[in-house]
Structure 1
Amino acid sequence: MEYKATLMSSDDMDRALRRIAHQIIEKNHGLQNVCLIGIRTRGVPLARRLARHIEAIEGVAVPVGELDITLYRDDLSRIGEMPEVRDSRVAFDIEDMTVVLVDDVIYTARTARAALEAMMKLGRPAKVQLCVLVDRGHTELPIRPNYVGKNIPTSVDEVVAVRLTETDGENAVKIFKQ
């Protein structure tokens, strides 16, 4: 892949997450019964970062969970014979909660669909909202995020790479050409 540009710096990412934290608080008229569930892999640290911003703004610690969607993917047969399945870690009851699913990028929306299915196995939330750091367009399903850090129109031969310190050793959003 050929590097094209850095679309978001560490500061840009932090500003976007802070703005989203405010939007979550405003849209839900506070934080009563609100939780964040990060979609593995990069949605988990993003959910934790959002929770820290929310706590700094409101003084309220919202519960954060981790969701593994591997077995709910519609391309499971394409990604290998033995996909790596990890446990979902949601140590709270989502029944009647407002669940904010957090992911790094929305592209086709198939990950979001799989996350909805996996989450419903955990209980019946009152509401589900979707939060992404980057919306790159090209959704193939009627799913749209409620919260977006940055809209980045792309072509199908480009790759948007969200890099996080927790998983990749740096904070940046980069674009590559395949």
Structure 2
Amino acid sequence: MQKKLILDTDLLDITISRLCQELIENHGDFSETVIIGMQTRGIFVADIIHKKLEKLTKKNIPFGYLDATFHRDDFRRREIPVKANETKIDFPIEGKRVVLVDDVLFTGRTIRAAMDTMIGFGRPQKVELLVLIDRKYTRELPIAADYVGKSVNTLTSQRVLVELEAQGHKQNKIWLINKD
């Protein structure tokens, strides 16, 4: 197995800062915006983005997380039953601009499931997608991110590994792994 470093700690911090600046440019005072992290790994990225945005804007921005397990189209196809994670959205999303955050955009199926899940909480005015890594050439559904940390050319056989301090790792790093 070969590992290639995509983003080290410093570059990841710069990337997240840039993403936050893009959000500030497009959302202004965030009065009509909510941030929702995707379970399981997207919540860590969303939390980092949320804290940095609140610090930069000095505003309280509604933040929650969403589990789309039961809306996935492969839910019943797995040999081992998937365990659901917690969904925590304790604010209205009706008429709001939702920034959905995940770590890696791969096939697009998880995002499709997330949008189906969100409808249970109201009809947002707009949904935007923010991802740290956009895996190009692997999309199975016509899903595209509005905010991308880094686009990476990948093969289906490869894997992107996001290691964050919030997950218990020593440093924030993102790797591309070849499963040779």
Q: What TM-score does the superposition give when structure 2 sets the normalisation length? A: 0.93
Other-structure match for 1:71: 70
Other-structure match for 1:172: 173
**Alpha-carbon distance between aligned partners in 1 of 2:115 and 2:53, rounded to the nearest angstrom:** 23
Computed over aligned residues only, the root mean square deviation of the Cα atoms, in angstroms, reads 1.3
Gaps of 5+ in 1: none
**Alpha-carbon distance between aligned partners in 2 of 1:129 and 1:149, rounded to the nearest angstrom:** 14
Other-structure match for 1:19: 18
**Alpha-carbon distance between aligned partners in 1 of 2:7 and 2:80, rounded to the nearest angstrom:** 35
Q: Which amino acid aligns with 1:149?
A: G
**Alpha-carbon distance between aligned partners in 1 of 2:79 and 2:167, rounded to the nearest angstrom:** 22
**CA deviation after TM superposition for structure 1 residue 168, in Å:** 4.3
Say which SS state the counterpart of residue 127 (structure 2) adopts: strand
**Alpha-carbon distance between aligned partners in 2 of 1:29 and 1:70, rounded to the nearest angstrom:** 32
1:5-44, aligned counterparts within 5 Å?
5-44=4-43
Equivalent residues of 2:39, 2:85 under 8 A apart: no
**Alpha-carbon distance between aligned partners in 2 of 1:157 and 1:126, rounded to the nearest angstrom:** 37
Q: Which amino acid aligns with 1:154?
A: T
**CA deviation after TM superposition for structure 1 residue 104, in Å:** 0.3
**Alpha-carbon distance between aligned partners in 2 of 1:172 and 1:81, rounded to the nearest angstrom:** 30
Gaps of 5+ in 2: none
Other-structure match for 1:54: 53
Say which SS state the counterpart of residue 20 (structure 1) adopts: helix
* 1:111 has 2:110 as partner: yes
Q: Which amino acid aligns with 1:51?
A: H
**Alpha-carbon distance between aligned partners in 1 of 2:73 and 2:167, rounded to the nearest angstrom:** 25
Poorly superposed stretches of 4+, deviation over 4 Å: none
User: 1:90-132: per-residue Cα shift (whole Å, max 9, x none)?
Assistant: 1111111100000000011111101111111111111100000
**CA deviation after TM superposition for structure 1 residue 14, in Å:** 1.6
User: 1:31-76: per-residue Cα shift (whole Å, max 9, x none)?
Assistant: 1211110001111111111111112221112111010111011111
Equivalent residues of 1:42, 1:164 under 8 A apart: no
**CA deviation after TM superposition for structure 1 residue 81, in Å:** 4.5
Equivalent residues of 1:54, 1:61 under 8 A apart: no
Say which SS state the counterpart of residue 38 (structure 1) adopts: strand
**Alpha-carbon distance between aligned partners in 2 of 1:81 and 1:41, rounded to the nearest angstrom:** 17
Q: Which amino acid aligns with 2:147?
A: Y
Equivalent residues of 2:40, 2:85 under 8 A apart: no
User: 1:120-149: per-residue Cα shift (whole Å, max 9, x none)?
Assistant: 111111110000000011211111000000
**Alpha-carbon distance between aligned partners in 2 of 1:46 and 1:40, rounded to the nearest angstrom:** 10
Percentage identity across paired residues of the two chains: 35
Equivalent residues of 2:29, 2:59 under 8 A apart: no
Q: Which amino acid aligns with 2:176?
A: I
Say which SS state the counterpart of residue 46 (structure 1) adopts: helix
Q: What TM-score does the superposition give when structure 1 sets the normalisation length? A: 0.94
